[in-house]
Chain A
Amino acid sequence: MRETGRFGGPRRNGLVTLTIILLAVVLVLGGCGAAREEEPPAPAAQPVILEYWTPFSGGDNIFMTELVEQFNREHQEIRLDQINSRLDDYYSRLRTAILSGNAPDLAIIHATNLPQFVQNGYIEPLDGLAADTGLDWGQFNAKIAGSTVYEDAHYAVPLDTHTLVLYYNKKYLREAGLLDAEDKPLIGQGEQGFTAFLHKLKEVVPPGVAPLALPSTRIDSVWLWWSLYNQMPGGGVFYNPEGTQAVFNNRASLQALKFVDSLYQQELIPPDINDAFKLFYDGQAAVLITGVWGTGAFEKDEQLELGVVPVPVIYDHPAVWGDSHTLAIPAKSEMSAEKRKAAMVFARWAVEHGVMWAEAGHVPSSLKVTGSEAYSALKFRSDYANTANSVVYWPRNMKQWSINEEIIRQFEKMIYKEQSPEQTLQRAVDSINLQLKK
């Protein structure tokens, strides 16, 4: 009987120690549990966010959205937020934003509209930035690249050329016997040839279907007139050499306008069309003359037997109205070097991925893209890729956009039979000359 009645001794000590150790282990384990809070993930580098404004209201917006989304996926360090508005309101919105210091970081500007943004430094020259990001100006179609140069500086990166083209519904043309072996429309020479083509269509198509669809308001008829006027020998003169007076009330211009008017008056273009695009899309028109931006949307419509050719040469030589979407950086105080660079990275990427943009229907600006196999493989686009060479832009004038609006107003009155083509040209020129004097 060793050490029976007494506390202490080695065994006693061992037990106490064991108990203390056990308690300690338990407490520490408990403590670990509480301390094992989820570590916050290391903050990912904040991407540069660019506000990007676009004016796409044809079928092409969805393609731009896809382009932006793919760019954002491939570039973790940059995020483009695209904001699209109707073309009708776009420039009013953009001008207000620039004047009030709320300009977007990147904006689409039509080449025609560049003069009014280059003035007063509303947009930034891009040569330095382009050199930094490796954008090669030499890759562009010379005509398109030229449209962005002011006093030897590039002010915008051209994305595309978009011209008028002639869309046709093969179903109706076949019924009228107006398709050749390659499913191209058989259109005769000159004014008579084109009119006869439409008359023949008018006889065949069901009532309510337009032989040719062109809206009775808006700019479409002005585009057609400008294209035809430029097809004439010595045609296409808009201003006097000094740029102080509009001089397009001449014989050639009048002939083109009379021809356009005759299509309306003979109801080869039915009256009161407001949305020609939708009419053709819904199979309610045999032929549609509009911009290339419809291709992507039309070809998705399985009901529509789509064909597309350049606008026919009715007079002397090929010429067609066109414009370019260009990417420009509006000047503003809080524009950081980082944002400028990111904007340029997108511009370069968008140009190089011109095939994606070509899917909307546009002719890409880069010769590398138009020469690529991927582009040639696209249906329809190669049928009109050459129109980029015969494109006629509007003349460079700071007020060209509002001058065009005056022409639209006068043309609308003509189409609604309120005045003759002669009066139309005279009144347009008079009113424009008043504007130019201001």
Chain B
Amino acid sequence: MKSFRGWFRNLALARKLILINVVFIVLPLGLTGYFAFARFTETTERKVGDYQLQTLKQLTLNIDTYMNELNRLTVMPYQYPKVTEYLATKRAPGEPLTLDEISGLNSFVTQVFLNGRVDILGVSLYGTGGASYVVMPESQYVTTYKLDEKVSWLNKFKGHYGQPVYVATHDLSASGGNVYQAFSIVRELRSFDDGVTLGYIVIDVDPKFIREILSNVKLDAKELLYITDDSGNLVTGKEHGLPLEASAVTPGQAGEGVSHVKSEGEGLLVAHVTSEVTGWTTVGVVPVSSLMQDTEVLRTYIILIGILCVGLALLLYVFIAYRITQPLRKLSRLMRGVERGDLSKAFPVSGTDEVGLLGHSFNGMIAKLSELGYLLYETEIREKDA
């Protein structure tokens, strides 16, 4: 402590000033700025995350309302005994239907199409005993389709208590050669009396309406908005809002939340909401960099202005210190002259500040010394003469 005080006391004035400036202004302000910015970033991200989550919840709610409506259609076979009876029959593939069966099934399917919105692309009924009645886009009913036993949704009904399964978007081929995109709602149909599975109803729906709901959200170029099912298959997304790789930013957990994900060196803010109706997850992705873009510009400006101001201040310190110490240096030069015996110099006094007074005293001292010298010389002469 003592040595520091000594060291500090011995520092040149300019350095002292610079040191004080750095320790008491640049460092504290810089640190405060840094912490304030970090905190601000954090708050902004949290706020945006919350807002993102709210938007996703609203979207999911809108989609769920529609899904519940579609879900009601899958219950319709229970109100059409002809349909459940048909599904319960044992049939060879392609076995022809009677006119009565055709008209019963046809009027059922027409009711499904009419009660649903225009987005329904296909309705399929599969019985466990081989019966089928499948209406695909652009085609008449087909009874030769057999349920593919490897189809992904088939084992999802266990312990489901009659809940339907929602199947992510897939291709649906029409007989005219066109391929449609559709997601599906599948319901297991059971007999009330003995509880056995009678068959399944599959309703294929154009995901257009989900895209329409998503299109109400404004997205920046780098933002993503899409829906996936529980295994990461894409249901649909906003145009330009589809992920290149769905799995890269798909949060595996259910429920809702906001998380930070690093992808290709870029920080991403990922919000997700999983619907309790469909089990699908709506995901919104915002790159943090785009979020903080404006703040970062501001930060850069503040730092530049700070550096410039501090730099200017330092220059001024050096200049002022030089100006302050200049008369002292002049005085010290004069002193060295006096040391060598040159008493002819005088300090040019130009004011009454401390330096002026010192110069005045110096001049007085030189005058006194000259006077003393002269007296000494006179005494010596007198002694010689005596």
Contacts and interface: CB of A to CB of B under 8 A. Distances in A.
Interface of A: 1, 3-6, 15, 19, 22-23, 26-27, 29-30, 33-34, 56-59, 61-62, 83-86, 88-89, 92-93, 215, 217-218, 271-272, 274-275, 277-278, 281, 297, 300-301, 412-413, 416, 418
Nearest to A86: B113
B380 to A, nearest CB: 37
B301 A34 contact: yes
Interface stretch (B49-57, B159-167, B349-357): B349-357
A33 B297 contact: yes
Contact of A5 (B99, B118, B175, B351): B351
A4 B113 contact: no
Nearest to A418: B99
Interface in B128-168: 137-143
Interface in B294-311: 297-298, 301-302, 304-305, 308-309
Contacts of A272: 96-97
Contacts of B118: 83-85, 93
B177 A274 contact: no
A281 B356 contact: no
Contacts, number: 106
B110 A88 contact: yes
A93 B114 CA distance: 7
B348 interface: yes
Interface string B79-113: 00000000000000000111100100010001001
B99 A413 contact: yes
Given A6-B350, A272-B96, A281-B176, 19 more contacts: A4-B326, A15-B316, A23-B312, A29-B301, A30-B302, A30-B305, A33-B297, A33-B301, A56-B138, A58-B138, A58-B176, A59-B177, A62-B178, A84-B118, A85-B113, A86-B113, A275-B140, A277-B176, A297-B177
23 contacts: A1-B348, A4-B323, A5-B350, A5-B355, A22-B308, A22-B312, A23-B312, A26-B308, A27-B305, A30-B301, A33-B297, A57-B137, A57-B139, A62-B178, A86-B113, A88-B106, A88-B113, A93-B118, A274-B142, A275-B140, A275-B141, A301-B177, A412-B99
B362 to A, nearest CB: 14
B327 interface: yes
Interface residues of B, number: 42
Contact of A278 (B142, B302, B305, B323): B142
Contacts of B142: 274-275, 278
Contacts of B298: 33-34
A269 to B, nearest CB: 14
Contacts of B143: 274
A388 B301 CA distance: 76
Given A1-B348, A5-B353, A274 B178 contact: no
Contacts of B110: 88-89, 92
| Among A26, A58, A88, A274: residue with most chain B CB under 10 A | A274
Contacts of A56: 138
Nearest to B133: A274
Given A1-B348, A5-B353, A300-B177, A274 B113 contact: no
Contacts of A92: 110, 114
B305 A215 contact: no
Contacts of A34: 297-298, 301
B245 to A, nearest CB: 29
A143 to B, nearest CB: 28
B163 to A, nearest CB: 28
B356 A5 contact: yes
A215 B143 CA distance: 14
Given A26-B305, A418-B99, A278 B113 contact: no
Contacts of B355: 5
B145 to A, nearest CB: 11
Given A4-B350, A5-B327, A85-B113, A271 B96 contact: yes
B102 A217 contact: yes
Contacts of A413: 99
Nearest to B308: A26
Contacts of A93: 114, 118
Contact of B141 (A1, A3, A271, A274): A274
A413 B98 CA distance: 10
A6 B298 CA distance: 40
A418 B99 CA distance: 10
Contacts of A61: 138, 178
B304 A26 contact: yes
Contacts of B304: 26, 30
Contacts of B176: 58-59, 62, 277, 281, 297
Contacts of B140: 215, 218, 274-275, 277-278
A7 B177 CA distance: 93
A57 B138 contact: yes
A402 B309 CA distance: 89
Contacts of B178: 59, 61-62
In the A-B complex, the 3 residue pairs with the smallest Cβ-Cβ separation, listed nearest first, are A59-B176, A272-B96, A278-B175
A300 B113 CA distance: 29
Nearest to B176: A59
A90 to B, nearest CB: 10
A382 to B, nearest CB: 22
A275 B140 CA distance: 5
Contacts of B312: 19, 22-23
Nearest to A88: B110
A277 B308 contact: no
A326 B263 CA distance: 54
B308 A275 contact: no
Interface in B342-370: 348, 350-351, 353, 355-356
Nearest to B95: A272
Nearest to A282: B175
| Among A26, A93, A218, A413: residue with most chain B CB under 10 A | A26
Contacts of A274: 102, 140-143
Contacts of B301: 29-30, 33-34
A190 B323 CA distance: 125
